[in-house]
Structure formats: C-alpha cells, structure tokens
Chains A and B, each alone.
Chain A
Amino acid sequence: MTDTAGLEKQILAEIAGAGDEAALEAVRVAALGRNGSITALLKTLGALPPEERKIQGPLINGLKDSLNAALAARRDSLKSAALEARLNAESVDVTLPVREAPFEVGRVHPITQVMDELTAIFADMGFAIAEGPDIETDDYNFTKLNFPEDHPARDMQATFFFNPKPDGTRLLLRTHTSPVQVRTMLTQKPPIRVIVPGRTYRSDWDQTHTPMFHQVEGLVIDKGSHLGHLKWILEEFLKAFFEIDRVGMRFRPSFFPFTEPSLEVDIQCRRDKGEIRFGEGSDWLEILGCGMVHPNVLKNCGLDPDEYQGFAWGMGIERIAALKYGISDVRQFFEADVRWLAHYGFRPLDFPTLAGGLSS
C-alpha cells in the first residue's frame, strides 16, 4: 500500500521549497506530469478491486486536487515576489530635478508686454495700430507738425540726423511717434482712430534718458471729437492700464507745437516707501501730454480745420511700464541683463487680455 499521506507531505514540502516558477514546474511534472508520482498512483486505480478503488479513488484524486491548489497558490506567491523584486530593481530617484518648462524660463520684455496691453485696451475702444519708419524726413517729423524753423528740437544737439543728401535735405531718426500721425492723415480718410506705438530717438543720455526709447500716441480725427472725449478716453485707458477702479486725473494747460489747446495730464497717487499707488493719495504725477490737433497740422495734412477736428496724446512706454511695474532705472530697459529680464519680464503665456487681466 502506498503511503499517500507521506507522499503528499513530501510533495507539499517540495512545492514550498520551489524557489522560482521553473522549480515549481519541475515539482508539478514530477508529481502530476505524465510520469509523475501522483499520475502513477492514479494509473494503479484501474487495477484495484472495486471496494479498494472506492476508497483509494477519492483519496488519490483528492490528493491531486489539493496538490494542484498548493501549486497554484505557490505560483501566485512566486509571481508576486518576482514582480516585487523587479519593481524594487526598477525604482528611480524621483527627487532628481527635471528641466524647467521652456515657457517658464523664456521672457518677453516689459516694453513688449506694455505694448500688448495698450493694444488690448485701445483695440477694444475701436482703435487700430498704426506704424511708421524710424528714419523720417524733417518735414514729417517737424515741419508738418508745426515746429518752427528755429525750434531747439531741430538742433543737432537734440536730434539724430543722417548726412545731407545731394539736394540738401537730411533724414533723421524720428524724435517722437507723431510723424505717423502725419502719415496716417495723409493716407487715410477720417474718421481716424489709431494708436501708434514705436521706437523713438533723441540725443540725450543720463540717469533718466536713453538715446532710444519708446512712445505710444493716439490720434482721433473726425467731425466732432473734442476735449471732453479725450478726457474720457484717457480716464478709461488709465483705469484699464493700471487695473484700478477709479483714477484721479488733473489736466494742466501746457504747450506743444502740434496741439492747441495743449494739456498735460497728472494722475493722483500716493507715494509710500518707494512704492506708488494710483487712485489714492494727494500727490500728482505727470504721465502724458495731449491736446486738440493744431489747425496748422490739419492744414499741413490736407484737412480743413473748420471741417475736421480731433485730438492726440502721447506718452513714454518705458515710463508707464516703470510706474506700473515698479521699475526704478529706465536705463536697465536696454541693458539686457538676464537677471533683470527674468525679474521684470513676462512669461510668454501671460498674454494680456481684457478678460483675463493685462498683467497676469
């Protein structure tokens, strides 16, 4: 009589002792394979007398089932141990730094950002963006804008000139964006509503001036726009630009050759430990110049000043950028110091919109 209990014990021990799936398979084949020990036992059943078979049959089949179950259990545990070992081996140091997203590193210059902000604000008010060349004629930069022949701005001390042409005329680097007003009026029929951002040049270099800088100006020409409209537009602009609910403004009479009446605009502010807050306080800060387009300028651009009228305003982009973003030294705008650009520049996805905010 075979010692089934002993055999079971022995095979179970072999199953438990199998170190991997291959060893376990060998145990299975040795027990349950074609020539396996349990298979051999099963084969003996046929030769047994019926009574004996009744006893031995369930016994051996039960043994086979329990060994199969033990094999499956062992296989599962070996598999999960193997997976665990693999995962252990595959682990990485996730604290290693990854590269910053390129759009987190790149910056647009504050001048670009502010120009885009201006565009968003004025496009919403129905203004187009006009542009013109940096190299201008004396006629467009000065004469048509009603600058007298002997105006100090026409001096070599103040303005960058090129060498005279054979016909005696000399080109210059525009000293303001206003020649674009002339170009616009000469080529476009009113109503005109444009803003003109751009590079401008003056021969001046000190703590608060750079020989190149940026201006933006606005021009409205039609048959009814007056100082009251100008006031409203500037009010709306300043509120939108500085992202404040209300803005205190003061219009002071002033003088520019190309406007009459001419005004300078101060905005109300509070200075506090080097920080400027707008819309509160009792200080005034000069921010822009404006006025009704001078009748001589209209005439010079082929418009009848008794029929057409309008206004213009202009300001320095570096200045309004500096005021809004707390930039203290305007010379830094052109130094391209990457530390400054990383600090004062804007992320490329910070696209100014009226819906989402201009500056964030």
Chain B
Amino acid sequence: MMKFTLAWLKEHLETDRPLGEIVDKLTMIGLEVERIEDKGKQLAPFVIARVIDAKQHPNADRLRVCVVDTGDGKPIQVVCGAPNARAGMKGVFVPPGAYIPGKDMTLSVGTIRGVESRGMLVSEFELQISDNHEGIIDLPDDAPVGANYAQWAGLDDPMIEINLTPNRPDCTGVHGVARDLAAADMGRFKDAAIKPVKGGFRCPVGVTLDFGATPSLCPAFGLRLVRGVKNGPSPPWLQKRLVAIGLRPINALVDITNFITYDRGRPLHVFDAGKVRGNLTVRRARADERLLALDGKTYTLDGSICVIADEDGVESLAGVMGGEKTGCSEATTDVLIESALWEPANIAQTSRRLGINTDASYRFERGVDPAFMLPGLELATKMVLDLCGGEPSDVVVAGSAEADERVIDFPLSEINRLAGLSLPLPEMRRALERLGFFAAGQGERLKIAVPSWRPDVHDKADVVEEVVRILGVDRVPSTPFDRGDASRKPVLTPIQLRTRKAKRALAARNLVEAVTWSFIDKKKAELFGGGKPELALANPIAADLSDMRPSLIPGLVAVAQRNADRGFPDVGLFEVGQIFRGDAPADQLTAASGVRCTLAKPNGVGRHWSKLDGAVDAFDAKADALAVLAAAGAPAAALQIVPGGPSWFHPGRCGTIQIGPQNILGHFGELHPSALEALDAEGPLVAFEAILERIPEPKAKATRAKPALELSAFQPLERDFAFVVERNVKAADLVRAAAGIDRKLIARVTVFDVYEGAGIAPGKKSIAIAVTLQPRERTMTDAEIEALAAKIVAEIGKRTGGVLRG
C-alpha cells in the first residue's frame, strides 16, 4: 500500500493546486486514490480550551463538572469523567453537533446524572490520533485557547492512500508520484541531484555474493559503515511523517530507512555493526536454517530463500525483513547501511512462502530502480550523519547495478492507431520527457529511451499508454462502432440455443433454476459415476468441493435438502450447466437436470383440494425430461423409453431416453433409496438429467418455408380396445404394435386406462388403448374398420400375448 501526505508530496512537487484537484488527477493518471484522510477537515470543530473550574459531580464519584473557556468569553459547563481533568489545565474541547471519530457518534447536549453537559473534553483516542484513552488531552500552557487544535498540533496534513497497480514500482515512493503529477501539469517536479558523501575510511566489512552454480538472486549489493553514531528518537518532523502514514517511529536509524522507503521507493536495511561478526555473504539459505526476524517470529528457511549471513549464520531475509539479533537499537554506535537489488520474482515467492508482507518486499517484488541503489545509499548516509552524527566509510559494492537500456522505435501514428487520438507532437514529447523518457528525432518516428525506474515499459503500446494516461483518456473521442457488413444470421450456436430454451422450458414447468457449484464431494462424484483422478482438484477450497461434478443431480439434491431443512420441503429445482466426463474440452457436456421433492408436482406444488395433488413420481420426472428435450429440439417421435437406468435410480422406477442404444439422451426416475441416504436427503424425490449435446442436429434447410400442409376431408374416427396382458408387459409395446399395423391410416394410439384388481386374474393387468384412424381418400366402410380392428387384436396378441378383455 502506498501512502503519503499532501505536505510530504509538496517536498517533491511545487504546486498550489488544491487537494481535491490533485486527488482527482492521481486517479485519472492511473494512481487510483483509495482513501483520503483529512484530519484537518474532520477535526475542524475541535478547539483548544482552558478548564477554568473542575468540581466534584454532586451525584457521581467519578465525574467532575468542569467550566471551560473556549476563547469567546462565554464559559461552558461540561461533565467529564477523565481522571486527569483539573482546573487550570488546557485541553481539547468539542461542542454539541460535532462528530467524534473515535466514538463514531455525533455529540449532543446531554444531562449526566442530573447535570447538563454542553460539549466534551476529548482524549487522543476519541480523535483517533492514537490509542491513548487514559485521560483527556493535556496540552502545554502555551497552547492558544480558542485555536483550531488540528492546525495547532500539525494534524491537518491530509493523508492520501493509493491503490497501486503492480506495474508501477516507481510510484512506491513519493518522489515518483510527484514526477507523474508534474507530467500531468499539476506542478513542478523537484528533482535535485543527490550528492555523494565522501567516505573517510575503508569499509571494514566485506560483501561476497555466493550463489555457486545456481542463478544469482542478487544483482548488486551496496554497503557502508557509519561509525560513532548517536541513535535515539528521530526528530519530530520525521516522526510526524511516519505517524501520518501509520508507521510507528522506532529510532532514528530505523526511521531513516522507513522514510526513504516511502520517500523514494528505495528500501534499505541497517545492521548494528557491533553485532555483525566478520564479513557478509549473500547466498541461498541452507535447508532448515532458522532466523529470528524483527517481527519476533522464527522462520525456517530453505534454498529457495535469499539471505544475508555473517560468520554466525543468517542475519537477514534479503529484501523482506532483517534479523532481530543485528537490529539497530538506541545503543547502536556503528551502523552498516545496506542498499541492494534483489530478484523480484524471488522476493515475491519468499514473501508468499513465509507469509510476510513488508514495505520492503512490496517494493522489491515490483522491481526498484537499479540506478538509484547507490544514490539511495548516499541519501541514507547523509540523513544518518544529519540526525545521528558519525563518520562514514567508503561504499563497497558487490555485483553490478547497471540498468539495461531500452530504446523503443516509435511511429507517432501509433497513438492514433491504438487510441483513436490525434495529438500535437510537442504535447506528446513534453509528457514523455516529464516522465523521464528521452525522445529523439523530429519526424514521424521517435526513438524513445526508457528511464531506469520504468521496468514496465517495453513496447510501442506501453508508450501509447503513457501518453494517453498523462494527457487524459477523456480526450479519446467516443467513436461509433460500425457493425459493418457482417452477416445478420443468428449468432447463437446450437448448444447455446438449446441451453436457453431448456432453461425457459423447465422454468415454465414450475421448476426454479439453481446455480450450484461445479465441484462436489468426492464420494458423491463417485456415486454418480465420476471421481476420476484427473477431475480431482489438487487444492480444493473445501473438502466437500473437491471433484468436478459428473452430474448435476447430487448438487441439486443437496440444495433441495437445504431448502427442506429451512422448512421448504416441496421444491422443484433445475439447473442447466456443465458436467465433466474427463478433463479434455470435449468431455465437458451440458446437462439439463432437475429434481422434484415431496409434493412439487408439475401441475402444482403442495396439497390441494382438487385431489390432483400428491407425492412426486417417476412420471413427473419423465414429463420434465421429455419436455426439456422437446424444447431443446429433440425429435419426439424418435425418442425411445427403455426401462432401467444408472445405479443411482430406483431400478424399477426409472427409465432411459435414447435414440437407439448408442445414443442415450437422458434418464429419469425416482432416486435409489441408498443414493438418497448417501446424499443425506429425504424422499420422495424424483430427478431427471438430459445431455443437450446428444440431441441430433436437424438437417440444414435451404429456406425457412414449412412443408405443405395436407388436410384430410374425412372425419377421423376412434376405436377403443382393452387387453388383458401379463403384468410385466410394457404399454409401449402395445402402442407400438397397434401403431405399426398401418402407419398411414392410424394417426394416433393413446393409453387411456391401466387396471389391476377385481375382475382381472392375479399377475395380469388390463391396458385400454384408443386408436384414432384418419382416412385420407374416402370414408371407411364398416367392414374395413372391422378388418382393421381384427388385425390390431391379432398383432397385439402376437407381440404381447394380450387378449381382448371380455
């Protein structure tokens, strides 16, 4: 997180622009302002006041009745519970109507134990400037009564927090932020050169980069000793800077490194030279080496982590956090200042592995400016000398901090080509040069040199972004997009059309669409034919969301049961979504599935006086399955229903929908009692699943015209037959036998009654069918009808053993 204050920014940017304008500009150039904390504005009603009188409250031991002078000559009575409230003191007063940030409330006139209180004397906690709520703020005698407290205390410097994108390491420092703002015409960038500090002696501690045969994790390492320093609290201006961005001042040496981290985006480390033994080696940690770090925790390391070691072992986690043992304290007299470059990817990895995010790792993993490694060390040296005194050594450098030079060949037309924006060349040049780019050439092509602090800029498109970003995306004119001569044909693919029709069709059958997780519990996946090792997640977010679903039914059953547990047992739910048979793209199929529980019948949910209610059954699921297939374009006449289905269905109450045994489109039925038990659900529960990819694609037609309609001039006639058959004979066989007699003449065969019981021998049943005949050329004679009826009876007898019921 990048934070700074307005006054801090102004150290690097000469500007008279108001806060609001600067903040808006930051966001508009890609440095999105996440939060502004303007204590000056928030604390405007809080004034310095003198307590004229403080008497014991008549009705409460712990309260005092104070009379407060706020500078306008009208004393105010305040009831105060702070132990340090006393006559003569100066504190901070706030009148009724003001907002108290630490209490998140607006103050009103109150009566406390019978005494009126017209305001409040506040603690630092109540102002949210510290955690101190021991007593009210106790100000020195010279504090001017009536003055604005925040202003007087210097708290009125607004704090700005930027949500920095990972490509901008240069803006992890106030200096870089100021450069961007100056480029965007927000003021003049103050970029004074940093003068090197001459060393007085050779640095007694040597540095070796030792990575053996492995890739180096440290391109360069600079070190310098300052001896004879006097460490202690840092000066108020420095403490104020750090406190304002939420850092805790520690001591001058440490505060200097924290300051430069935020000021310049250049993290540093200071070692107490008195606690370092021998020379420093920068290397990979050895397996199981340990370090007690400055956060008080001990970390166990390995060869992927880069460390700085002395003769005693690891002393610091490179670029992430220093060690406790060699940390600087007020007793430190000799300090080693480190300024180094680290491999960004390695820092990111270490920080993630160890779970430590520090201001240093935040910057190193983005990539600090290699050219500033030594200037940063010089700046730190100067501050140490200024604040702590001492005598600096020469600088030792291991490795090389050379930045690679990037020059981009940039045709000016790129701006218009990619951004649709025409800009005058001088304006573009000015923006780039203010950002630190160097642009050479006058014609249609520029050679653009990229500054060392911009590792994110490689390509022409990056330069376009810089120009557009600084000169304003709002200048890009909105340009109507011509749909051109592209075809006007429907854009949805067959499977997309099937999906949307399936959803609307199922919702139209009173089912409610759920969207359930694509991953389910391994046991459930196995139960429904899945659980293959290649479909198991290596890192599931929860143990019961571990395997890609082979079917939508287990997920739907789970949410149906959850609704039942909430008191809504009669639910009908569906989902149309992906199921996984393997990990290849072609193994991902689109299922349309649903469940109906207890009384969620297709014609109505719950009990009903009409007697059309009742428990869901396999035929409800069958109707759903056929409806969704029809809606999705399946040829109804070609679908065959075969008894039986997968193991998770009740074997005697389920069916398979297929077009021949090779193409199974779906299943329906009552769930198997043991499947229900395994899913922790209660029945009655019926389900269906149809695979939309399995629907054959209709033949492409040249035109949209429908085939000619033939209407017969002759009335249809209907004949009823009832057959007694064995109980296991399938109704579909009767229907098929009857329909097959004369496909031209027999328009329809329906089953209108099925009966078992009195009058029918045990083990048998009666099935009644109605056969509709549609003559086309002439009216049928009675003899013809009789002949046909006889054929039907004979054929059914032959195929099913059915006998016409007497």
Complex Cα spacing A103 to B542, Å: 36
Which of B349, B417, B519, B602 meets A102, CB within 8 Å?
B602
Q: Mark A244-273, 1 if CB is under 8 A from B, else 0.
A: 000000111111000011111000000000
Q: For the complex, is B714 an interface residue (Cβ under 8 Å from A)?
A: no
Complex Cα spacing A27 to B418, Å: 107
Which of B29, B464, B481, B496 meets A125, CB within 8 Å?
B481
Q: Which residues A55-76 have CB closer than 8 A to chain B?
A: none
B563 near A251 with CB under 8 A, answer no
Stretch at the interface among A7-15, A46-54, A147-155: A147-155
Q: For the complex, is B214 an interface residue (Cβ under 8 Å from A)?
A: no
Complex Cα spacing A335 to B512, Å: 13
A251 near B474 with CB under 8 A, answer yes
Complex Cα spacing A254 to B417, Å: 20
Stretch at the interface among A33-41, A79-87, A111-119: A111-119
Q: Which residues B561-577 have CB closer than 8 A to chain A?
A: 562-563, 566, 568, 571, 573, 577
Q: Which of A131, A294, A296 has the most CB of B within 10 A?
A: A131
Q: For the complex, is A191 an interface residue (Cβ under 8 Å from B)?
A: yes
B32 near A254 with CB under 8 A, answer yes
Inter-chain contacts of A342 with B (CB < 8 A)? 512
CB distance from A164 to the nearest CB of B (A): 8
CB distance from B606 to the nearest CB of A (A): 9
Q: Which residues A306-360 have CB closer than 8 A to chain B?
A: 309, 333-339, 341-342, 345, 347-349, 351
CB distance from A343 to the nearest CB of B (A): 11
B508 near A102 with CB under 8 A, answer yes
Complex Cα spacing A11 to B509, Å: 66
Q: For the complex, is B431 an interface residue (Cβ under 8 Å from A)?
A: no
A334 near B516 with CB under 8 A, answer yes
Inter-chain contacts of A262 with B (CB < 8 A)? 465
A163 near B536 with CB under 8 A, answer yes
Complex Cα spacing A9 to B562, Å: 83
Interface magnitude class on chain A: 35 or more
Inter-chain contacts of B515 with A (CB < 8 A)? 109, 111, 333-334, 336
CB distance from A225 to the nearest CB of B (A): 7
Complex Cα spacing A123 to B344, Å: 44
Q: For the complex, is A129 an interface residue (Cβ under 8 Å from B)?
A: yes
CB distance from A96 to the nearest CB of B (A): 6
Inter-chain contacts of B478 with A (CB < 8 A)? 228, 231-232, 235
Q: For the complex, is B559 an interface residue (Cβ under 8 Å from A)?
A: yes
Q: Which residues A127-150 have CB closer than 8 A to chain B?
A: 127-129, 131-135, 148-150
Q: For the complex, is A211 an interface residue (Cβ under 8 Å from B)?
A: yes
A345 near B513 with CB under 8 A, answer yes
Q: Mark B322-355, 1 if CB is under 8 A from A, else 0.
A: 0000000000000000000000110011001000
Q: Mark A79-102, 1 if CB is under 8 A from B, else 0.
A: 000000000000000001111101
Q: Which of B345, B456, B479, B563 has the most CB of A within 10 A?
A: B479
CB distance from A337 to the nearest CB of B (A): 7
Inter-chain contacts of B533 with A (CB < 8 A)? 163
B545 near A211 with CB under 8 A, answer yes
Q: For the complex, is B134 an interface residue (Cβ under 8 Å from A)?
A: no
| A351 and chain B: residue at smallest CB distance | B504
Complex Cα spacing A42 to B602, Å: 72
Q: For the complex, is A278 an interface residue (Cβ under 8 Å from B)?
A: no
Q: Which residues B488-517 have CB closer than 8 A to chain A?
A: 490-493, 496, 500, 503-517
Inter-chain contacts of A150 with B (CB < 8 A)? 344-345, 348-349
Contact of A149 with B345 at beta-carbon distance under 8 Å, contacts A191-B484, A228-B477, A292-B461 already known: yes
Q: For the complex, is A107 an interface residue (Cβ under 8 Å from B)?
A: yes
Which of B167, B349, B479 meets A226, CB within 8 Å?
B479
Inter-chain contacts of A212 with B (CB < 8 A)? 517-519
Q: For the complex, is B580 an interface residue (Cβ under 8 Å from A)?
A: yes
CB distance from A114 to the nearest CB of B (A): 12
B486 near A126 with CB under 8 A, answer yes
Inter-chain contacts of A225 with B (CB < 8 A)? 481
Contact of A119 with B538 at beta-carbon distance under 8 Å, contacts A261-B461, A341-B513, A351-B504 already known: no
Contact of A338 with B352 at beta-carbon distance under 8 Å, contacts A99-B608, A228-B419, A347-B507 already known: no
B518 near A134 with CB under 8 A, answer yes
Q: For the complex, is B468 an interface residue (Cβ under 8 Å from A)?
A: yes
Q: For the complex, is A105 an interface residue (Cβ under 8 Å from B)?
A: yes
Interface magnitude class on chain B: 35 or more
CB distance from A239 to the nearest CB of B (A): 12
Complex Cα spacing A108 to B490, Å: 23
A123 near B491 with CB under 8 A, answer yes
B559 near A261 with CB under 8 A, answer no
Which of B468, B479, B492, B518 meets A119, CB within 8 Å?
B492
Q: For the complex, is A186 an interface residue (Cβ under 8 Å from B)?
A: no
CB distance from A269 to the nearest CB of B (A): 16
Inter-chain contacts of A111 with B (CB < 8 A)? 515
Contact of A309 with B507 at beta-carbon distance under 8 Å, contacts A135-B580, A232-B480, A295-B461 already known: no
Complex Cα spacing A263 to B181, Å: 18
B507 near A103 with CB under 8 A, answer yes
Inter-chain contacts of B241 with A (CB < 8 A)? none
Q: Which of B32, B352, B476, B516 has the most CB of A within 10 A?
A: B476
Contact of A163 with B496 at beta-carbon distance under 8 Å, contacts A106-B506, A123-B491, A229-B481 already known: no
A295 near B504 with CB under 8 A, answer no
Complex Cα spacing A201 to B549, Å: 14
Which of B352, B473, B496, B605 meets A252, CB within 8 Å?
B473
Complex Cα spacing A128 to B474, Å: 29
Complex Cα spacing A149 to B560, Å: 43
| A101 and chain B: residue at smallest CB distance | B510
Complex Cα spacing A106 to B367, Å: 55
Q: Which of A98, A161, A191, A336 has the most CB of B within 10 A?
A: A336
**29 A-B residue contacts at CB 8 Å?**
A99-B608, A103-B508, A106-B509, A123-B492, A127-B491, A134-B588, A135-B583, A150-B348, A160-B539, A164-B538, A173-B518, A173-B537, A220-B481, A225-B481, A226-B417, A226-B479, A229-B420, A229-B479, A233-B481, A261-B418, A261-B419, A261-B469, A295-B459, A309-B417, A333-B515, A334-B516, A336-B563, A338-B571, A348-B508
In the A-B complex, list the 10 residue pairs whose CB atoms are closest, starting with the nearest.
A253-B30, A228-B420, A126-B483, A228-B479, A261-B465, A99-B604, A255-B165, A106-B507, A336-B559, A348-B507
**A160-B539, A228-B420, A336-B562 known; 12 other A-B pairs, CB under 8 Å?**
A100-B510, A107-B512, A135-B548, A171-B534, A173-B537, A205-B542, A229-B420, A255-B167, A292-B461, A335-B559, A337-B566, A338-B563
